[in-house]
Amino acid sequence: MMKHKLLLIVLLNLAILPLANAQKQSDENQLLLQEYKYGKGFISVGNINLTVNDKFKVKPDVAEFTVTYKTEGNSYKEASDKNAVTMKEFNQFLLDSGLKKADLTTVSYRNLERQIEQPIKTKTVQYQSSYVVQLYIDQNLFFNVTEILDKNGIHNIKQNNYDFNLKQSGNISHYVFNLQEVASSREKAKQLVQQKYQNIVDELKKLGDNTITVSAYDNQENAQDTNAELVKKYYVLNTLALKVKNFDLIGKIMAKAQALNISVNNDLSYSVSDEELENTLQQHEKMLYKKLEEKANRLLGNHYQLGVANYLNYTATDDFPIQKNPRLYAQSLVAQEASIDNKIDIQTPEDLELILTMEGSFEIVRKIIN
């Protein structure tokens, strides 16, 4: 039994020996690494985590806005073909002006169908001649007068109680009525209304002292529509988003769009390109790193030193409102029609604010005290 125990102890020692040697080797390697980084007499005692940030002004270098072109046709193809011709001309103008294909994005292309009432005009043109007639009659003869008017197709007369120029006497009252005649020619309509008026005048004279005059005359084409039919109209609404880096082109592009009857949507916004953001980061990263080191040294004081960085991260966030998705006025025909506005707000872009943040983790080093 004693031999078995002795053998077990020997085996355990043999098993522990490689682990101990490995740990010793790791510790020696760690000391060699620290000596390589900081020289003899220094040792790493921990880590410190820090964050610093700063704000910077950045000039916008990109303008973004959308335009919408609406075309109408008796079929989708007709409306689409019309749209394609004009938009092709507009796109070529943009490319010739210096924009790239990547700066042009079709963000909405919609086909719409709408039923509208279309009047059906009469085949024969007619003319209407009319008189406005002033009539002064004795109330005792009122029913006799209306009988004459009824025979001539006049069934509506109105009393004028506001004629202050009339010197009324007795039972004399002032009335107004209209005479109208329609014919296939202007001359014929005129003759008919004259004839009817003369018939009334002649018959009123037989009743006695009744005054009748014409105060207004009109003879014009009778533009009345008899019926209307429902017809289908087809619309194509094409909305294009533009990125413009040369701000001097904005006014020229909008003028060209309006010359082609393309609506310029009032959604102009300014932003900073990825290239400009990268330039800003490169310009300020060294300065932020220096601020990070200074903050660490202030916190460590005189007893410890700042070692190498184990981790660094550099981020940028904007503190300005950039419209990532331009407003689209082409979602419906009603919205498109409501968007037409000749007053486009073009303002000089203000500097935008960018927040740069750097965070890092550093080793803390101190001298070895013997």
- Residue 74 DSSP label: S
Q: What is the pLDDT of residues 208-234, one digit of tens each?
A: 766 888 878 888 887 665 667 778 889
Closest CA to 80 of 109, 45, 40: 109
Cβ neighbours for 14, distance < 8 A, ≥ 6 positions apart? none
Q: What is the pLDDT of residues 302-328, one digit of tens each?
A: 888 887 778 888 777 765 544 433 333
Please state the pTM of the whole predicted model: 0.49
Is the distance from CB of 48 to CB of 361 less than 8 angstroms?
A: yes
Is the distance from CB of 149 to CB of 158 less than 8 angstroms?
A: no
Window from 31-45, 56-70, 119-133 with minimum mean pLDDT: 31-45
Q: What is the pLDDT of residues 243-261, one digit of tens each?
A: 999 989 999 999 999 999 9
